[in-house]
């Protein structure tokens, strides 16, 4: 069985190689891999910047944005052969910490969680994989071509969940949302905003191309100017920040309307320094009851919410987000970042 593997923390080691057949003991599903989404985390692991192999192993099977079809399912598992499924990425730490013990392993407090394709568990980048039924999400059959978008959608489903939980601290009737960044996370965040009936605006550097078309096809408004220029006129109630760019993050925090909420989903690179007036930022946040919250990963309820959002979305719009499909044996092409890419997908199987 072929799989995309890498030696973590060593660049130049990514290769497709034969690996053992997946273990289906303990009532696990056997799944034929269909597709694997590629994101910045995968590129960082391949570059040797990140990642942990399973204990006792040198290599890690890459891939956390999965899509597969059940080949074999144990009786009573709730799944059947032919079901379209996605695997949840994170597993709770073994102690477990209080958050993991309550099913909130996306909020693990001691960092001893594991993640498929990232940390101490082989990922979904193989022709077949197995999974515990509790960590598999069944998809609408209509998502056979686009269900690989479920994992990034789960991330923004959690972000919206966090925003709405924070908003419920007081009267909360948002009208306008600004999403900064029109990559997969930003566009899927915009989709969930449109599905909530909000006036959605998306900001990105691109001035033309698939990102602009995707925003317009949602019925949202696209912007490409400075963040401060957009927020000054818009005064959004909510900002979903999906770039991780330090200057954009700061302008987003400063740019909401009164008692606005900023949810940070983009991970910033270390080492970039900018000068800010922290006193003015603090004054504004305190006097306007503003909130800034970080959000990463997702738990099963967010995956379920994401599956419902994708099932309700326009199939053609979802398909437009997948700008390249690359076969497994040409994986290096998928790892190249190109200006017009939104989502790149590796196709699995022979």
Nearest-CA neighbor of 194 among 309, 56, 29, 48? 309
Q: What is the mean pLDDT of the chain?
A: 94
- Helices 227-234 and 246-253 pack at an angle, to 10 degrees, of 20
Residue 276: the pLDDT is 63
pLDDT confidence of residue 246: 87
Q: Where are the alpha helices (DSSP H) in the chain?
A: 40-46, 98-101, 150-167, 184-195, 210-218, 227-234, 246-253, 278-287, 300-312, 315-321, 331-334
Q: Closest by alpha carbon to 232, among 209, 203, 189?
A: 203
* Chain mean position to CA 28: 24
pLDDT at 272: 60
Q: How far apart are CA 189 and CA 343, in angstroms?
A: 14
Confidence (pLDDT) at 288? 74
Q: How many CB atoms lie within 10 A of CB 277?
A: 11
Q: Quote the tokens at residue 324.
A: 């390249």
Cβ–Cβ < 8 Å for 93, 70 = no
Residue in this structure with the two tokens 């306007």, named with its chain if needed: 288
Q: Which residues pair with 159 in a beta bridge?
A: none
Q: Which residues are CB-neighbours of 48 under 8 A, at least 6 positions away?
A: 8, 9, 10, 11, 12, 13
CA atoms within 13 A on the CB side of 22: 27
> CA of 177: how far to CAs of 109, 180, 187, 189, 234, in Å?
30, 10, 12, 10, 9
Task: Report the pLDDT value the prediction gives residue 239, as an integer from 0 to 100.
Answer: 97
* φ, ψ for residue 173, nearest 5 deg: -135, 70
What is the distance in angstroms between the CA of the first residue and the CA of the last residue of the chain? 10
What pLDDT is stored for residue 286 in this prediction? 66
Torsion angle defined by CA atoms of residues 160, 164, 165 and 167, in that order, rounded to the nearest 10 degrees: 140
Which segments in the chain show pLDDT lower than 50? none
CA proximity to 28, closest of 100, 77, 62: 77
Task: Say if CB 125 and CB 348 are below 8 A apart.
Answer: yes
- The single residue listed with the structure tokens 């394709």 is 117
- Phi/psi for 109 (5° steps) reads -95, -15
Question: What is the β-pairing status of strands 84-87 and 65-72?
Answer: antiparallel
Q: What is the pLDDT of residue 349?
A: 76
């Amino acid at each position: 069985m072929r799989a995309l593997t890498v030696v973590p923390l060593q660049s130049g080691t990514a290769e497709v190689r034969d690996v053992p057949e997946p273990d289906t003991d303990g009532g696990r599903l056997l799944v034929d891999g269909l597709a694997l989404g590629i994101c910045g985390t995968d590129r960082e692991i391949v570059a040797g910047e990140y990642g942990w192999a399973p204990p006792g192993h040198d290599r890690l099977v890459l891939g956390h944005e999965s899509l597969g079809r059940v080949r074999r399912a144990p009786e009573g598992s709730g799944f059947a052969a032919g079901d379209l499924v996605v695997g949840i990425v994170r597993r709770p730490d073994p102690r477990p910490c209080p958050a993991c013990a309550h099913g909130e392993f996306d909020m693990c407090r001691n960092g001893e969680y594991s993640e498929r394709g990232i940390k101490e568990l082989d990922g979904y980048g193989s022709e077949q994989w197995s999974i515990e039924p509790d960590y598999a999400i069944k998809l609408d059959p209509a998502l056979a071509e686009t269900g690989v978008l479920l994992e990034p959608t789960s991330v923004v489903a959690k972000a919206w969940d966090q925003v709405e939980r924070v908003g419920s601290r007081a009267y909360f009737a948002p009208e306008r949302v600004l999403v900064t960044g029109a990559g997969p996370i930003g566009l899927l965040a915009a989709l969930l905003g449109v599905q909530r009936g909000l006036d959605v605006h998306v900001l990105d550097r691109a001035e033309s191309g698939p990102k602009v078309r995707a925003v317009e096809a949602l019925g949202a408004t696209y912007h490409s100017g400075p963040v401060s220029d957009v927020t000054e006129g818009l005064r959004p109630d909510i900002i979903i920040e999906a770039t991780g760019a330090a200057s954009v993050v700061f302008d987003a925090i400063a740019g909401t309307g009164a008692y606005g909420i900023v949810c940070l989903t983009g991970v910033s690179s270390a080492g970039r320094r900018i000068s800010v007036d922290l006193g003015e930022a603090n004054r504004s946040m305190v006097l306007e009851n503003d909130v800034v919250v970080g959000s990463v990963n997702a738990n099963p309820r967010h995956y379920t919410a994401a599956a419902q959002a994708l099932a309700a979305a326009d199939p053609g719009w979802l398909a437009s987000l997948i700008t390249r499909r690359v076969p497994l044996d040409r994986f290096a092409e998928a790892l190249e970042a190109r200006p017009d890419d939104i989502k790149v997908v590796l196709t699995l199987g022979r």
